[in-house]
Amino acid sequence: MSKHDLSWLTARPIAHRGYHDLNRSRWENTLSAFEAAMAGDFAIECDVHLSADGVPVVFHDGVLNRLTGRDGNIYDLTAAELVQLRIGGTEDRVPTLAEMLARVAGEVPLVIELKGIEGKDDGLVAKVGALLADYPGKAAIMSFDHWLIRRFAADAPGIPAGLTAWKKQPAELEAHFSMLAHGLAFTSFNWADLPNPFVTTLRDKLGLPAITWTVRDEKGREATRRYADQMTFEGFDPDKV
């Protein structure tokens, strides 16, 4: 059983990479997308990598081209270089996690996904954990990467931690269950892979919440209603559906 009260995690829909507009004018993982989520009173999901000089930055991809229009890897540039890059040609630039935390300032909950690149992101959990240790708001961390999850308890103590996951074949389920040894407080699971024994066990036997990713239509909303506790969404306003 988790020692955390995570009622805040499931109280409101969670805006996937902020409340962007599918990267038409308000792009993912930008301060503009986070401000839009705050305006709608949505929780925020975001992604974090380390820069070349070990600073957590809010950015989904390991490479730069889709979001910034230039070649290269996220881990090849310093934070000072990254924050100069425009996202999608807009005025928004790559935010550091510290900058994003200062802007949200506890106004809505945060669900921070750590995007690890082995050999490049050593120290990521500790750096994020240090920033969240003094953060005044509700925040959780999660990852697909088991090698990062194994660092959560030691490097980010006291912060609710989850497994981001998908697939429900026996080998995948066994790997998911193995992560319970590392103090999981919740899971974020692909809605298309629900129901499955892992999520059912977490919710029904362990009393832990499950959120879904990434809901874009009624099928995803219905799967969330039936088999999970809240959705991570994009491309629509959940309050108007």
Neighbours of 44 (CB within 10 A): 27
User: 48: pLDDT confidence band, cut at 50, 70 and 90?
Assistant: very high
User: 194: pLDDT confidence band, cut at 50, 70 and 90?
Assistant: very high
User: 4: pLDDT confidence band, cut at 50, 70 and 90?
Assistant: confident
Quote the tokens at residue 19. Answer: 């409340």
Could you give all domains of the chain from N- to C-terminal order, each with its CATH number? Answer: 7-240 (3.20.20.190)
Q: What is the mean pLDDT of residues 156-166?
A: 98
Residue 21 pLDDT > 90, yes or no? yes
The pLDDT tens digits for 78-136 are 999 999 999 999 999 999 999 999 999 999 999 999 998 888 899 999 999 999 999 99
Element (H, E) at 222: helix 218-227
Residue 74 pLDDT > 60, yes or no? yes
Residue 139 has what pLDDT? 98
Please tell me the distance from the alpha carbon of residue 202 to that of residue 199, in angstroms, as a whole number.
Answer: 5
Residue 2 has what pLDDT? 54
Residue 206 pLDDT > 90, yes or no? yes
The pLDDT tens digits for 218-234 are 999 999 999 999 999 99
Residue 50 has what pLDDT? 97
Residue 120 has what pLDDT? 87
Above pLDDT 90, what percent of the chain?
Answer: 95
Q: Is 218 helix (H, G, I), strand (E, B) or coil?
A: helix
Q: What b/e readout covers 203-223, taking b as 16+ CB neighbours within 10 angstroms? A: beeeebbbbbbbbeeeebbeb
Residue 1 pLDDT > 60, yes or no? no
Q: What is the mean pLDDT of residues 59-83?
A: 97
Q: What is the mean pLDDT of the chain?
A: 97
Concatenate the DSSP letters of all residues of 101-162 into one string: HHHHTTSS-EEEEE---TTT-TTHHHHHHHHHHT--S-EEEEES-HHHHHHHHHHSTTS-EE
User: 57: pLDDT confidence band, cut at 50, 70 and 90?
Assistant: very high
Phi, psi of 73 (to 5 degrees): -110, 150
